[in-house]
Amino acid sequence: MQLMSADGLAVVSNGSVETAGQTPSLDEIKLLARRLNAMPAGEIHYTSELSNFLPEAADFAARAAGMLSIPISKTPRDYILFFRPEVVRRVKWAGNPEKPVTIGPNGVRLTPRKSFEAWQLLVEGQSEEWTTAEIAAAEQFRVTVLEVVLRMADEAAFERKRAHERQELLVAELNHRVRNILGLVRGLISQTSKNGGSVLEFAGVLESRIHSLARAHDQITKQNWAAASLKVLVNTEARAYLNNKSDRVLISGPDVEILPAAYSTLALVMHEMITNSAKYGSLSDQRGRVELSIHKRDDGSLDLNWRELDGPAVQAPKRRGFGSTITERSIPFELRGESNVSYDLTGVSAHFWIPAIHISRFVDVDPSKELGAGEPDPATLEDHDERNVPAAFPLNFLLVEDNMIIAMDTESVLLELGAKFVRVCADVDTALGEIQRNPPQFGILDVNLGHETSLEVARKLKTAGIPFIFASGYGDAQPMHEIYQSALVLTKPYDKETLRKYILDTA
């Protein structure tokens, strides 16, 4: 403003207006910008009598009687506008220029004394004139601003290119990981099926292994694919499968944060060790215990020593199943470490060595703090006969889920748990219609429904006083509306016991 000797400034960009100093109102500036849009693009426009350019400007002449506009883009039409206020002046004329000719004593000839009387005129609605130097400065200013805008456009184009490249890389990485996951699940199914047993046994073992991987994945994705606590991993597995026996898994030594690439492998190993101990080893009775000691070597690698005590007599397995393969071969094969498992009569013992390349750091932490996360602890699940349906268990459910297979599986589990009616909806409109026609007793809402979210359904249920829980594949990382932050979020994939626990805790 000082450069242009202006009292006000406005920048019109992308439909928004920013002002400084003495200017017209925002609506008046937008009206002025629309008028400028009709002028030739790329040129400076200036006037010391704005009402001649825009008749409506007569209403704000006291604030802005003169204007100079500098275009800074063509699409959209954006401007920098400088304003000058009205300057009231008295102009002296040798005579009234509008005075009509009158006949004097000498006829139509002029009378010198009368003809040259001074005439004063009050001029309003005008500002100081824009000088040639100021107009030249404005032109230079326009060129400078356009150079800045072009540079910003180049930078924006470069960032868009980088973002596109990052997106392509992300899609490729996602495709790679999805293929790995599908291959892993296929391998679990194939290898688990070789163990024999009934279909129910096969389904139970396969489900437990998949949930073990899911829990491990949750741990490493809580902090954007970061290293996670080994103690938390072991405690999570123990509490998921041992219930009130989980305190019989005793861990000593410092905690250690395992890098994501190795975390899932260790999760499967710990899962097999704990479940085997619960079925056949020291945790299968009421007296036995497991001692797991953690040691750091001088080179930064990790020693894990597993020892089962005070349990029943142990017999070595007569055949090597997939579980034995996991405990004995996955660490050497995938992590280039060592695994040694001994089936001593007094209890199973095992030693696992993890190379330092898979270790983030050793740290003393309280694992209970890591398990907080705002979701029910699987350890609180009580042993009970599944045929005895709790009195508080709802009978009428609304299930909002856009994946047909997940919806069918969840519906089947709810019916097994004692539900009488399960209405499945794949989108928000259908779910809202069901609530209107047949209000449920409980809602299970998948957060992400592809092109929409279930928050509107949650709002409807909350207004009606109907309890609900969310289900999400995002786990704790799922962004939730602040109104629903207190609602429980069931992390996919979920099992029957966890689903029951969440429903009873909410109902």
Other Cβ atoms within 10 Å of 396 Cβ, number: 15
pTM of the model: 0.45
Tens place of pLDDT per residue across the chain (507 aa): 888 899 999 999 888 999 999 999 999 999 999 999 988 888 899 999 999 999 999 889 889 999 999 998 877 788 999 999 998 776 665 555 555 555 555 555 555 545 445 556 666 788 999 999 999 999 999 889 888 888 888 888 888 888 887 777 666 655 655 665 665 566 667 666 666 677 777 777 777 777 766 766 666 556 556 788 999 889 887 876 776 778 899 999 999 999 987 887 888 888 889 888 888 889 888 889 999 999 999 999 999 999 999 988 888 877 767 678 788 888 988 888 999 999 888 899 999 999 999 999 998 644 444 433 334 444 443 343 444 444 578 999 999 988 776 788 788 889 989 999 999 998 899 999 999 999 999 999 988 887 788 889 999 999 999 999 988 766 544 445 554 566 788 877 677 888 888 898 887
Taken in order of first residue, the domains within the chain and their CATH numbers are: 8-96+117-130 (3.30.450.270), 194-372 (3.30.565.10), 396-506 (3.40.50.2300)
**Given this model, what pLDDT does residue 102 score?**
56
**Given this model, what pLDDT does residue 112 score?**
53
**Given this model, what pLDDT does residue 381 score?**
37
**Given this model, what pLDDT does residue 94 score?**
56
**Given this model, what pLDDT does residue 245 score?**
78
Q: Compute CA distances 232 → 81, 124, 490, whole Å.
A: 62, 81, 19
Alpha helices in 223-366 (DSSP H): 230-242, 260-279, 322-335
**Given this model, what pLDDT does residue 170 score?**
63
Token pair listed for 380:
């609180």
Residue type, 12: V
**Given this model, what pLDDT does residue 315 score?**
81
**Given this model, what pLDDT does residue 97 score?**
57
Tokens 């938390």: give the residue: 232
CB 342 within 8 A of CB 316: no
Residue type, 305: N
Helix, strand, or coil (residue 306): strand
Q: Compute CA distances 165 → 51, 169, 179, whole Å.
A: 52, 6, 21
**Given this model, what pLDDT does residue 380 score?**
40
DSSP symbol at 101: P
**Given this model, what pLDDT does residue 387 score?**
41
Alpha helices in 112-250 (DSSP H): 112-115, 132-193, 199-221, 230-242
